[in-house]
């Protein structure tokens, strides 16, 4: 029957085991919720929604249309004031070309911004996947280490000579080594 320090060390081991189980369960829950979302974003990153892209393109088209209409209207007024129907055609043509060029730049800019946003989301998802396990799993592994330390202390105090206790101690060491190897990627 354990006494004194040995009893405290065994209680510490039990507490560390419970902590390890709790933290490992937390890591598993976090992983189960985040991993599918991050995996989907990493595999198939999305940029703007179709509605956002449509709104951007519509705004660019409205701007170009407004510029065109303004140039044609001003050209018509200029032709009426000068009583020369051909006087404003060059200015109107230049304004129409400029509006078309601006519209093309905006359309390409929208697509580039969409692709850049998708890449940014993909990079964030990959970073999230890489760091997701670290916090909770390492806490669980640290708790196993505390359990191992407590059991080793109990063993050194002489009460762990029971073969079943030795088997449990070796099991805890093995589990800690496997967990550390998994967390380290090897």
Give this prediction's pTM: 0.50
d(CA 156, CA 51): 69
Domain count along the chain: 1
Structure tokens at 22: 């709790």
Tell me which residue range forms the domain holding 149.
Answer: 4-183
User: Tens of pLDDT along 96-115?
Assistant: 888 888 888 888 899 999 98
CB 144 within 8 A of CB 14: no
Residue pair 157/5 in contact (Cβ under 8 Å)? The answer is yes
Residue 27's φ and ψ, nearest 5 degrees, are -60, -40
DSSP 8-state symbol, 44: S
Q: Using CA atoms, how far apart are residues 164 and 17, in angstroms rounded to an integer?
A: 17
Rounded Cα distance between 27 and 76, Å, is 71
pLDDT in tens, the chain (186 residues): 556 666 776 777 777 778 777 877 777 777 777 778 888 888 888 888 999 998 998 888 888 888 888 888 888 888 888 888 887 888 788 888 888 888 888 888 999 999 899 899 888 888 887 776 555 556 666 666 666 666 665 556 555 555 555 656 666 666 666 555 555 554
């Amino acid at each position: 029957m354990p006494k004194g320090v040995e009893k405290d060390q065994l209680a510490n081991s039990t507490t560390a085991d419970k902590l390890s189980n709790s933290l490992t369960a937390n890591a598993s829950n976090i992983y189960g919720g985040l991993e599918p979302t991050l995996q989907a974003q990493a595999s198939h990153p999305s940029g703007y929604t179709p509605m956002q892209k449509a709104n951007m393109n519509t705004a660019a088209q409205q701007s170009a249309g407004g510029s065109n209409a303004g140039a044609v209207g001003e050209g018509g007024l200029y032709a009426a004031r000068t009583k020369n129907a051909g006087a404003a055609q060059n200015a109107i043509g230049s304004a129409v070309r400029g509006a078309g060029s601006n519209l093309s730049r905006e359309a390409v800019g929208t697509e580039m911004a969409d692709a850049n946003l998708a890449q940014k989301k993909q990079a964030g998802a990959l970073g999230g996947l890489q760091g997701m396990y670290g916090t909770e799993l390492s806490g669980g592994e640290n708790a196993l280490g505390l359990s191992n330390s407590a059991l080793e202390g109990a063993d050194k105090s002489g009460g762990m000579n029971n073969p079943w206790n030795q088997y449990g101690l070796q099991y805890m060491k093995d589990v800690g080594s496997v967990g550390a190897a998994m967390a380290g990627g090897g």
